[in-house]
Structure 1
Amino acid sequence: MALVCMSHSPLLEFSDPPADVRAAVDDAFNSARGFVKDYDPTLIVSFAPDHYNGFFYELMPPFCLGYEAVAVGDYGTQSGPLDVPIPVAEALSQAVLDRDIDMAISRRMEIDHGAVQPLEILFGHIAAKPVVPIFVNGVAKPFTSMRRIRQMGTAVGEYLATLDERVLVIGSGGLSHDPPVPQWATATDQQKAMLLNGRHPTAAARDARQQRVIETARQFATGEADIRDLNPAWDRSFMTNCATADLEQIDAFTPDQMAADAGNSAHEVRTWLAAFSALRAAGPYRVETSFYRPIPEFIAGFGLMTAR
C-alpha cells in the first residue's frame, strides 16, 4: 500500500500566486506523479470531501462509499464517470460494516473537484485507474469525531491489506482554510435551499458560486477578505502527526476548535486522517516526500505528502 495526501483548491487554474510559489507547487506535483508512476497502483481508494455538489443536507452521512461515481465538472475539472470496480467496492463496504463501522453506500455518487483534482494531477484523467471513492464530510455540521474517522480509515486499510493489489490511498483536502462556504446557521433562505439540495445547478448559478470564491481569493491575497487567516503552525503540527503515525493524538481535535484554529474547511483534514489510518493498518510506513506552503491565492495552507 502507498499513499498520497494533498490539498486541493478550486483556484489552481483561477489564481496567480507568485512565480516561485507556483513553481514549488508544480515541483511537488511532479514529485508525486513520479512517486505514483514508480509504484504503478492497480487500485486506488480515494478519501475526499464534497462542497455541496454531490452531498446535501437532505441526506448528509459522515462518510459514504461509492459503487459508481460521476464527476460534476465544477471549476473546469473533468466531468463524467470514474472507473469504479463494483465488486471491489461492494466487498470493501461489507468488510467495513463487518468491523462495526456504519459505512453508507451510494450506487451513483456525484463528486466534485475535491475528489477529481488529485486524479487529474496524478494520472491525467479521472478514469485512468480503477478507483473506489469514499466521501468524507468536511463541510456540513454536525461532524463525527476524529476518532471515528481514524477507526473508519483503519477498517478500510485492514481489508485493503488482504487484497492482491498495489493499492494507493488518496486523501484530498485541507489544510487550514476558510473559503466562503455558507453555514446553515447564518445562511439566507436562498442559500439554505442550495445547501438542502442544490444538485445540478444551471450554468449561471454554478458560475455565480465559483466567481464568489475567485473574488474572495483575490481579496484574501491582498488582505481585504473577511475570512479566517491561514494557520501554518497548525498545518505543520497536523502533518507531523501524520508523518510519525501518531494518529491517536488527532482524536483530541474537536470540530469547534478546528474551525476556530484553522477555518471552517479545515475539517477536510479528515480525509488525510482516514488515508493515513488505512496505510498504518497495513503496517509501518515511511514518508517519502513532504511539501507545505501557506498560499493565500489558493485560500489554503497547501500540503502534499507521499508515503509507503
Structure 2
Amino acid sequence: MRRVPARRPTIKDIARRAGVSPSAVSFALNGRPGVSPATRDRVRRVAEQLGWRPSTAARALSGEGAATVGLVLARPARTLGVESFFLQLVSGVQEALSERHFGLLLQVVEDVSAECAVHHRWWAERRVDGVLVVDPREDDPRYAQLAALGLPAVIVGAPAGPLPPSAGAISAVCADDTAAMAAIVDHLHSLGHRRITHIAGLPGLAHTRRRIASLRAEADRRGLHRVASLVTDYSDAQGAEATHRVLAAPRPPTALVYDNDVMAVAGLAAAGRRGLSVPGDLSIVAWDDSVLCRTAHPSLTALSRDTPAFGHRAARHLLALLDGAPPVRVHEEPLRLEARGSTGVCRG
C-alpha cells in the first residue's frame, strides 16, 4: 500500500477546529489586537494540539526573521571530518540556539570569497537572522561586507585588540593565542628544550600569525635561535609530512608544537616510524585538547579549553544582538596547559 505523506497543519485547519475565521487565527498567533483573550488562548491551544509551526519563509517575508543563524566554514572540507574543535564548537552553539528554538544553517566552502558570496545570498534570501564568523583573517573582507549588509554577526576567536572600523556593529568573542603560546614555550623551556618547531595551521588565519609571532617573541626573549614555524592545512597528512621533514634535519628539534590535535597525533605516529621515543627523544604539544590527545600513547600535553562553552557564549551574544543589544567584546577564559606524558626533560 502506498504511504500518503503527512500533511502539515495550516491556519485554516486551526480556524476550523477552533470555530473562528482564518484572520482571527492569524491575529491570535501573531499577538495582534482584534481578538479577545479567550479566543487567543483557544486558538493557541488548538495550534499546539495540531502541532502547527510558523513557516520560516512566511516569517522572513513578514519581517519576523527566519529564526535561523548561519555559520560558514571556509576550510578544506577534507580537514574537518576528524577535527574535534568544530564539532565541539557547533554543539555549544546549537545548545544556546535551541533554548530559543533557533536553527543553525551550516555550509562548508573553499575560501573566504566563497563565504562572502554565501553571506550575501543568505541575506538576499532572508535565510538567516545573523551569522557566526570563525577563523578571522588579516584584513578580513567579511567585516565590511557584514556591516554594509546590516547582518548581525559575532566574530569567534577574534584578536584581543579592537576590530577595524569597517567592522561596524559586530560583537566579538576574543581568544588570547599570544598568552597561550607563551605558556607552551614556558613549559618546554623549563624542561630544557631549546630547539622548538611549531607545525602551524593555515597561513592566512589571524590566529596562525599571532601564534607564530608569539613563538618568535618568546624565543627572542630567551635567546633561542633554533625556533621555527611551518604552515599546513591542518590535515593529518600534512602534519605527518611536516614532522618527517623537520626531524630529518641535521639538528632536528627536540620539541614540536602542533596547531591541532589531529596533526599532533599524526606527528606522534611519524616520530615512532622514525624510531624516536616520546618524550625520551622528542616532546610533543597539541594546541586543542581532545579525546585523541587523552587516549594517545603517551597521552599528549595539550592546551585545554571548554570549547562547547566557547560556542555557547558566541551564540548567546549573537542572540543578544538580534534582541537589540549593543555589540560587545568579551574574552574567553585563558587556555590551560595540561601537562601529560608527551613532554619531558630534554636529553639532546
TM-score when normalising by structure 2:
0.26
Higher RCO (C-alpha 8 Å, min separation 6): 1
Q: What is the TM-score normalised by the length of structure 1?
A: 0.28
